[in-house]
Structure 1
Amino acid sequence: MSFEIQRGLFGHDVTDHYAILGIPLGTDPKTVRKRFLQIAPRLHPDTCSAANAQGKAYAQQLMSRLVNPAYATLSNDAKRADYEAVLRTLHSRLPQQANKVAIQGALARELSQAANVQGAYLKALQTLTASQYDDLEQVLNRIAEISELNLVYLLKTTSGSASPARPAAAPPPPPPAQRPASTPTSGGETTGAREGAASNTQFVLRALRRAEELTAKGQFAMAMQELKDALKIDGNNADCHAWLGKVYLAQKQGTLAKVHLTRALAIDPRNAIALAAKQELDRATGGQTTGQATGQTAKTTKPQPKTIGGGKDKPGGGLFGGLFGRKK
């Protein structure tokens, strides 16, 4: 039996691992594992709902060809980071393809018209995943419906990361000064606002964790992207600015490092990450930015003749020198 799915993200040449496991985009690894352990018994030959050998064999195929690869990708830091980079790339292309997207599922069509995208997305997803693997004959159809939800969600969001923690864009978006104003409930605060604030916090925390792990592996470009995405959600997060400064410092981009470390300490003067990185920056530059330190060196060494092709590169190397100029 064919396992090919053409709807949702699958129709854009992306295997939707989140849809296969029936979890929201951007789900943390702990929840990924929890969901995997819920699915596994439903597809095991001894405990699945199949009544005959053919059905049990099909259940095993679902596990080996879909569920196991999805879990292997989303539970591994490096594979997950690469996969989410693919989703971000897809998301950047979706606005130009919006008129060509065909949606079959009723819940996905409802989501495309929803004002509170975040709440509607999670509610529709819960409806579809509750019995996703109960009827083995309907598993592929359920995955396709969930993937359509994911596709619509990405179309409706405003940023390039595949995470439901991102605020939804209700076109046309109101000016920033008007965004807090929404129709309140009797308690004075909209349910969507409370859900959005909580999910935004979760996204920032996940981004910080991923950035720290990527930095430890020397994957600075990906760490920077995680932190920049997080700052789009919370521009005044001291930890995000501190880590971004630290990443710039690791790439010998002292000027940019100083900008973010200064910002982090302005928000939280006791931020341990920023304080430690600032001390390292001061030691490296003598209390100046990289550009200033380089300029001072140029003044003191002015009498030396300038050679063509034989001189050493200046420290730092700029953005492209930092990202691509070093040996891996």
Structure 2
Amino acid sequence: MKPEQGLFQLDFDDHHAVLGVPVTADAKAVRKRYLAIARLLHPDSLSGATATDAQRASDVLSKLVNPAYEALSQEKSSTEHGIMLKLKGQSLRQVGTAPTVSSTTAQTLLKAPHADAAYRKAISNLAESQFNDLENVTEVIGELSELNLIYLYRSSANDGPSVSSPASAAKPRPNAAPNATAPTVPTPRQNQAAILESYVNRAQEYDQNRDYSRAILELREAVKAYPNNVQCHSYLAALYLKAGQGTMARIHAKRALEIDPNDERAIAVQARVDKASGASTSGSTQTTKSKGGNAKASNPKASDKGGGFFGLFGGKKK
């Protein structure tokens, strides 16, 4: 697929595949690989290339490679990505059947007797020529992503792959006791709780700064990942209410109450939406019964409430 035909419209969230490194790569390996790619795609390395090829290299670097490295080099995002990879492997195993893949390399890995060694070798072979033909770079990334998928599936049988968090790789303790107790491996439920907490924490930060649109975006992502989580729906309902979007607040409050009829925040949001909606309906009825300009004169503030939702929070301060 050519870049001008939609290459950068694709949403590559497999950062390891974009960089051509295994999901087990540590921070040092990720940075080394990134620097090698950056040198390869730098204008100084493409002095003899055509203007089209130079632009294509610039686009691949800025729109694929740089975002992938940024995601894996930041502690918060890399930790979340590692957790998501483990959960992905576990969910694949729970399905009971191997994921469907199209590439020969992934199909071979599915049957390889020694998955770890075969996986690393396959990734290395593809990475060598990954950026040689930038016109077809997405095809190679897709093949790498299939290898990651099969590796996650196969390694999940052994309690998940040993996925590194590049931004915060643990350093060995030279003086650790030989019989020291091994760290406890988080359960899938604990991993899910950690991811949810990160979404909620970021939403709360935006909420405190009254940046409701970004807070809503965080919670919408959480709802996509966990559609049956009452906390996500009720908090999202409250945020929509603060943003003056009563319809969306009602929808998520209703969904939260379907999951847990006793959720206090959802109950409160629904009550305030119903109250505002009732006040708006009453005002509309009164206006209809009035004649001409007398309706506005009898209720001069009616047109300033905007449906009543902003009024719940005192309106904008002047």
TM-score by length of structure 1 reads 0.47
Higher helix share: 2
Larger radius of gyration: 2
- Higher normalized contact order (CA 8 Å, seq sep 6+, divided by chain length): 2
What TM-score results when the alignment is normalised by the length of structure 2?
0.48
